[in-house]
Structure 1
Amino acid sequence: MSIQVITADITQLGVDAIVNAANTTLLGGGGVDGAIHRTAGPELLDACRSLPQVEPGVRCPTGEARITPGFRLPARYVIHTVGPVWRGGDRGEPALLASCYRQSMALAFAHGVKSIAFPAISCGIYGYPPELAAPLALQSLGEVLLDRSVQVQVCCFSDAMAEVWRTALNGGR
Protein backbone atom coordinates (compact mmCIF):
# COMPACT_ATOMS: atom_id res chain seq x y z
CA MET A 1 0.00 0.00 0.00
CA SER A 2 1.38 3.37 -1.02
CA ILE A 3 -0.26 6.59 0.23
CA GLN A 4 1.47 9.93 -0.06
CA VAL A 5 0.28 13.39 1.01
CA ILE A 6 1.23 16.27 -1.27
CA THR A 7 0.47 19.95 -1.71
CA ALA A 8 -0.33 20.61 -5.36
CA ASP A 9 -2.95 21.51 -7.95
CA ILE A 10 -4.82 18.23 -8.49
CA THR A 11 -5.71 19.26 -12.05
CA GLN A 12 -2.03 19.13 -13.04
CA LEU A 13 -1.14 15.69 -11.70
CA GLY A 14 -0.02 12.99 -14.12
CA VAL A 15 -1.95 10.14 -12.51
CA ASP A 16 -4.40 7.67 -14.04
CA ALA A 17 -7.36 9.18 -12.17
CA ILE A 18 -8.18 12.18 -10.05
CA VAL A 19 -11.11 12.29 -7.67
CA ASN A 20 -13.48 15.22 -7.85
CA ALA A 21 -15.19 16.41 -4.67
CA ALA A 22 -18.41 17.03 -6.57
CA ASN A 23 -21.96 17.98 -5.76
CA THR A 24 -24.94 15.72 -6.45
CA THR A 25 -25.74 17.32 -9.83
CA LEU A 26 -22.20 16.66 -11.19
CA LEU A 27 -22.56 19.88 -13.19
CA GLY A 28 -19.63 21.75 -11.68
CA GLY A 29 -19.32 24.07 -8.73
CA GLY A 30 -16.68 25.86 -6.74
CA GLY A 31 -13.41 24.75 -5.20
CA VAL A 32 -11.78 21.63 -6.59
CA ASP A 33 -14.94 20.78 -8.55
CA GLY A 34 -14.83 24.07 -10.48
CA ALA A 35 -11.09 23.78 -11.06
CA ILE A 36 -11.45 20.27 -12.47
CA HIS A 37 -14.30 21.28 -14.78
CA ARG A 38 -12.41 24.36 -16.03
CA THR A 39 -9.24 22.39 -16.76
CA ALA A 40 -10.97 19.37 -18.29
CA GLY A 41 -12.98 21.57 -20.66
CA PRO A 42 -16.63 21.57 -21.69
CA GLU A 43 -16.49 17.89 -22.66
CA LEU A 44 -16.47 17.00 -18.95
CA LEU A 45 -19.72 18.86 -18.38
CA ASP A 46 -21.25 17.10 -21.39
CA ALA A 47 -20.10 13.71 -20.05
CA CYS A 48 -21.56 14.49 -16.62
CA ARG A 49 -24.85 15.62 -18.17
CA SER A 50 -25.04 12.27 -19.98
CA LEU A 51 -24.95 10.34 -16.70
CA PRO A 52 -28.44 9.25 -15.66
CA GLN A 53 -30.25 11.05 -12.87
CA VAL A 54 -31.21 8.74 -10.01
CA GLU A 55 -33.74 11.32 -8.86
CA PRO A 56 -34.52 14.78 -10.21
CA GLY A 57 -31.28 16.80 -10.32
CA VAL A 58 -29.19 14.04 -8.68
CA ARG A 59 -26.68 12.08 -10.75
CA CYS A 60 -24.56 11.00 -7.79
CA PRO A 61 -26.01 10.72 -4.28
CA THR A 62 -23.84 11.57 -1.28
CA GLY A 63 -21.39 8.77 -0.52
CA GLU A 64 -21.45 7.35 -4.05
CA ALA A 65 -19.09 7.79 -7.02
CA ARG A 66 -19.25 8.01 -10.82
CA ILE A 67 -16.50 7.98 -13.45
CA THR A 68 -15.92 9.96 -16.65
CA PRO A 69 -12.97 10.49 -18.97
CA GLY A 70 -10.50 13.22 -17.98
CA PHE A 71 -10.63 14.96 -21.37
CA ARG A 72 -8.10 17.86 -21.26
CA LEU A 73 -6.68 16.85 -17.88
CA PRO A 74 -3.41 14.92 -17.63
CA ALA A 75 -5.44 12.24 -15.79
CA ARG A 76 -7.21 9.67 -17.93
CA TYR A 77 -10.24 9.55 -15.63
CA VAL A 78 -12.18 11.75 -13.24
CA ILE A 79 -13.93 9.90 -10.45
CA HIS A 80 -16.68 12.12 -9.08
CA THR A 81 -17.79 11.56 -5.50
CA VAL A 82 -20.11 13.54 -3.27
CA GLY A 83 -18.97 13.96 0.30
CA PRO A 84 -21.26 14.76 3.18
CA VAL A 85 -21.90 18.23 4.53
CA TRP A 86 -20.72 18.32 8.14
CA ARG A 87 -23.64 18.71 10.54
CA GLY A 88 -21.92 17.72 13.76
CA GLY A 89 -21.10 14.10 12.99
CA ASP A 90 -24.26 12.42 14.21
CA ARG A 91 -26.11 12.33 10.87
CA GLY A 92 -24.11 9.59 9.19
CA GLU A 93 -21.29 11.82 8.00
CA PRO A 94 -18.46 9.40 8.89
CA ALA A 95 -20.07 6.46 7.07
CA LEU A 96 -20.82 8.62 4.02
CA LEU A 97 -17.27 10.00 3.88
CA ALA A 98 -15.76 6.52 4.20
CA SER A 99 -18.07 5.36 1.41
CA CYS A 100 -16.76 8.13 -0.87
CA TYR A 101 -13.23 6.74 -0.59
CA ARG A 102 -14.28 3.08 -0.88
CA GLN A 103 -16.57 3.64 -3.87
CA SER A 104 -13.98 5.79 -5.63
CA MET A 105 -11.39 3.05 -5.21
CA ALA A 106 -13.86 0.40 -6.43
CA LEU A 107 -14.29 2.38 -9.66
CA ALA A 108 -10.52 2.83 -9.90
CA PHE A 109 -9.94 -0.92 -9.57
CA ALA A 110 -12.67 -1.67 -12.13
CA HIS A 111 -10.96 0.63 -14.64
CA GLY A 112 -7.38 -0.61 -14.10
CA VAL A 113 -6.17 2.56 -12.40
CA LYS A 114 -2.66 2.23 -10.97
CA SER A 115 -2.30 5.80 -9.65
CA ILE A 116 -4.98 8.06 -8.20
CA ALA A 117 -5.15 11.42 -6.46
CA PHE A 118 -7.81 12.43 -3.95
CA PRO A 119 -8.59 15.89 -2.64
CA ALA A 120 -9.54 16.32 1.03
CA ILE A 121 -13.17 15.39 0.37
CA SER A 122 -15.73 17.47 2.31
CA CYS A 123 -13.00 19.46 4.12
CA GLY A 124 -13.67 22.70 2.22
CA ILE A 125 -17.02 24.40 1.98
CA TYR A 126 -18.79 21.25 3.24
CA GLY A 127 -17.16 21.93 6.60
CA TYR A 128 -15.96 18.45 7.61
CA PRO A 129 -13.20 18.96 10.22
CA PRO A 130 -9.95 17.82 8.57
CA GLU A 131 -8.69 16.40 11.87
CA LEU A 132 -11.63 13.97 11.80
CA ALA A 133 -11.77 13.41 8.04
CA ALA A 134 -8.11 12.53 7.50
CA PRO A 135 -7.84 9.48 9.80
CA LEU A 136 -11.20 8.17 8.61
CA ALA A 137 -10.26 8.58 4.95
CA LEU A 138 -6.84 7.01 5.40
CA GLN A 139 -8.32 4.06 7.29
CA SER A 140 -10.90 3.55 4.52
CA LEU A 141 -8.19 3.68 1.86
CA GLY A 142 -5.97 1.32 3.83
CA GLU A 143 -8.76 -1.23 4.07
CA VAL A 144 -9.27 -1.38 0.30
CA LEU A 145 -5.57 -1.17 -0.59
CA LEU A 146 -4.35 -4.05 1.60
CA ASP A 147 -3.06 -6.26 -1.21
CA ARG A 148 -3.27 -3.89 -4.17
CA SER A 149 -0.42 -2.08 -5.87
CA VAL A 150 -2.04 1.30 -6.47
CA GLN A 151 -0.29 4.57 -5.77
CA VAL A 152 -2.57 6.94 -3.87
CA GLN A 153 -1.90 10.63 -3.39
CA VAL A 154 -3.92 12.85 -1.12
CA CYS A 155 -3.56 16.19 -2.85
CA CYS A 156 -4.04 19.16 -0.55
CA PHE A 157 -4.36 22.73 -1.76
CA SER A 158 -2.52 24.22 1.24
CA ASP A 159 0.45 23.24 3.35
CA ALA A 160 -1.68 23.55 6.49
CA MET A 161 -4.19 20.99 5.19
CA ALA A 162 -1.37 18.71 4.05
CA GLU A 163 0.14 18.81 7.54
CA VAL A 164 -3.16 17.59 9.04
CA TRP A 165 -3.18 14.68 6.59
CA ARG A 166 0.51 13.87 7.12
CA THR A 167 -0.06 13.78 10.86
CA ALA A 168 -2.94 11.35 10.39
CA LEU A 169 -0.89 9.24 7.97
CA ASN A 170 1.86 9.00 10.60
CA GLY A 171 -0.55 7.79 13.25
CA GLY A 172 -1.10 11.16 14.88
CA ARG A 173 2.58 11.92 15.35
Structure 2
Amino acid sequence: MISTLKGNIALLDFDLIVDPTNQQVLPMQGVSAQIFHQAGSEMMKACQELNGLEVGKAKMTKAFNLPCKAVIHTCGPRYMDGTHNE
Protein backbone atom coordinates (compact mmCIF):
# COMPACT_ATOMS: atom_id res chain seq x y z
CA MET A 1 0.00 0.00 0.00
CA ILE A 2 1.25 3.48 -0.86
CA SER A 3 0.19 6.56 1.03
CA THR A 4 1.31 10.16 1.03
CA LEU A 5 1.77 12.70 3.79
CA LYS A 6 2.09 16.45 3.66
CA GLY A 7 4.20 18.13 6.29
CA ASN A 8 7.70 18.60 7.64
CA ILE A 9 9.75 15.42 7.09
CA ALA A 10 12.03 16.38 9.98
CA LEU A 11 9.13 15.99 12.40
CA LEU A 12 8.02 12.50 11.30
CA ASP A 13 8.46 9.63 13.74
CA PHE A 14 9.65 7.04 11.21
CA ASP A 15 12.53 4.60 11.46
CA LEU A 16 14.45 6.46 8.72
CA ILE A 17 14.18 9.65 6.72
CA VAL A 18 16.21 10.63 3.65
CA ASP A 19 18.19 13.86 3.39
CA PRO A 20 18.59 14.97 -0.25
CA THR A 21 21.99 16.60 0.12
CA ASN A 22 25.09 17.66 -1.78
CA GLN A 23 28.48 15.95 -2.07
CA GLN A 24 29.79 17.81 0.99
CA VAL A 25 26.79 16.61 3.08
CA LEU A 26 26.09 20.18 4.15
CA PRO A 27 22.64 21.62 4.81
CA MET A 28 21.24 23.09 1.64
CA GLN A 29 17.86 24.70 1.19
CA GLY A 30 14.42 23.21 1.70
CA VAL A 31 14.19 19.67 3.08
CA SER A 32 17.89 19.32 3.85
CA ALA A 33 17.98 22.61 5.76
CA GLN A 34 14.96 21.56 7.84
CA ILE A 35 16.54 18.21 8.70
CA PHE A 36 19.78 19.84 9.87
CA HIS A 37 17.92 22.56 11.77
CA GLN A 38 15.69 20.14 13.66
CA ALA A 39 18.51 17.62 14.32
CA GLY A 40 20.76 20.18 15.99
CA SER A 41 24.49 20.87 15.84
CA GLU A 42 25.41 17.21 16.39
CA MET A 43 24.15 16.45 12.87
CA MET A 44 26.67 18.86 11.33
CA LYS A 45 29.51 17.27 13.30
CA ALA A 46 28.45 13.75 12.28
CA CYS A 47 28.19 14.73 8.61
CA GLN A 48 31.66 16.30 8.64
CA GLU A 49 32.99 12.92 9.79
CA LEU A 50 31.43 11.24 6.72
CA ASN A 51 34.16 12.79 4.51
CA GLY A 52 31.80 13.69 1.72
CA LEU A 53 29.49 11.64 -0.44
CA GLU A 54 29.72 10.35 -4.01
CA VAL A 55 26.84 11.06 -6.38
CA GLY A 56 24.46 8.12 -6.32
CA LYS A 57 25.75 6.83 -2.97
CA ALA A 58 24.30 7.12 0.53
CA LYS A 59 25.61 7.27 4.09
CA MET A 60 23.72 7.13 7.37
CA THR A 61 23.95 9.08 10.63
CA LYS A 62 22.09 9.07 13.90
CA ALA A 63 19.00 11.27 14.04
CA PHE A 64 20.07 13.26 17.11
CA ASN A 65 17.14 15.59 18.00
CA LEU A 66 14.83 14.24 15.28
CA PRO A 67 12.00 11.86 16.22
CA CYS A 68 13.17 9.26 13.66
CA LYS A 69 15.89 6.72 14.46
CA ALA A 70 18.41 7.58 11.71
CA VAL A 71 18.95 9.75 8.63
CA ILE A 72 20.13 8.50 5.24
CA HIS A 73 22.05 11.21 3.37
CA THR A 74 22.15 10.81 -0.40
CA CYS A 75 23.38 12.92 -3.28
CA GLY A 76 21.75 12.67 -6.68
CA PRO A 77 23.20 13.99 -9.93
CA ARG A 78 22.65 17.61 -10.88
CA TYR A 79 21.01 18.24 -14.23
CA MET A 80 23.16 20.51 -16.38
CA ASP A 81 21.99 20.29 -19.99
CA GLY A 82 21.51 16.58 -20.73
CA THR A 83 24.96 16.08 -22.24
CA HIS A 84 26.94 15.29 -19.06
CA ASN A 85 25.64 11.77 -18.26
CA GLU A 86 22.98 13.14 -15.93
Q: Quick check: TM above 0.5?
A: yes
Structure 2 segments unaligned to the other structure (5+ residues): none
The range that moved more, 36-45 or 82-91, is 82-91
One of 73, 77, 86 as aligned partner of 1:84: 77
- Deviation string 1:59-106 (CA, Å, 9 cap, x unpaired) is 11111100000000011100000112123445333xxxxxxxxxxxxx
Aligned Cα root-mean-square deviation (Å): 1.5
Structure 1 SS opposite 2:5: strand
Question: How many Å apart are 1:21 and its aligned residue?
Answer: 0.4
Aligned residues: 86
* Structure 1 length-normalised TM: 0.46
* Structure 2 length-normalised TM: 0.88
- Deviation string 1:14-37 (CA, Å, 9 cap, x unpaired) is 100100001110122211111100
Q: Which has the higher helix share?
A: 1
Kindly, what percent of the aligned residue pairs are identical?
36
Partners of 2:18 and 2:79 lie apart in 1 by 19
Alignment-mate amino acid for residue 82 of structure 1: C
Q: State the partner residue of 1:6.
A: 5
Structure showing greater radius of gyration is: 1
CA separation of 1:3 and 1:87: change in aligned 2, threshold 3 A = farther
Alignment-mate amino acid for residue 49 of structure 1: Q
Partners of 2:76 and 2:4 lie apart in 1 by 19
